[in-house]
Amino acid sequence: MITIKKSQSVDWLLPFSRTELTRGMNAMLSAIGHEGKDVEINLVDDATIADLNASFLQCDGPTNILSFPSTEDGSTHNIGWLALSMDTLERECLLYGQDRIEHALRLIAHGMLHLAGYDHGDEMFALTDVAVDAGFASI
């Protein structure tokens, strides 16, 4: 199950509907072999993600997405939660000329792969492309 939590101040920046986001995330989970897993996504502003970044990673400033794997002992159903900065998503799209839908899906796929236990590298980058394609096809 996909749980979406949105901040009122940034929810309008989401480039697709909640239904499309849920369908896209479920398709991405299936594409990476985690069909039916529970994931929560929090759509936040830069201030919130900067606080999370400082608290959990001891890094200053905002980032685009953070992944928090499940800490439930023995949980095989809930893989964790994501925080996606809508401010940073918008800024990166403007700075780099990226399509908002594709960039959002790419960040979400990247975060979900971290939840699934992947680290940066060729396998993760290849699976990101597979997940983004699946997400696009479902929305």
Sequence-separated (6 or more) residues with CB below 8 Å from residue 89: 13, 64, 100, 103, 104, 107
- Class of residue 37 by CB neighbours under 10 A (exposed 0-12, middle 13-18, buried 19+): buried
Binding-site residue numbers for Zn(2+) are: 110, 114, 120
Q: Centre a 10 Å sphere on the Cβ of residue 122 and count the other Cβ atoms it contains.
A: 7
- 100: tokens are 């908002």
- 86: tokens are 């809508």
Binding-site residue numbers are: 110, 114, 120
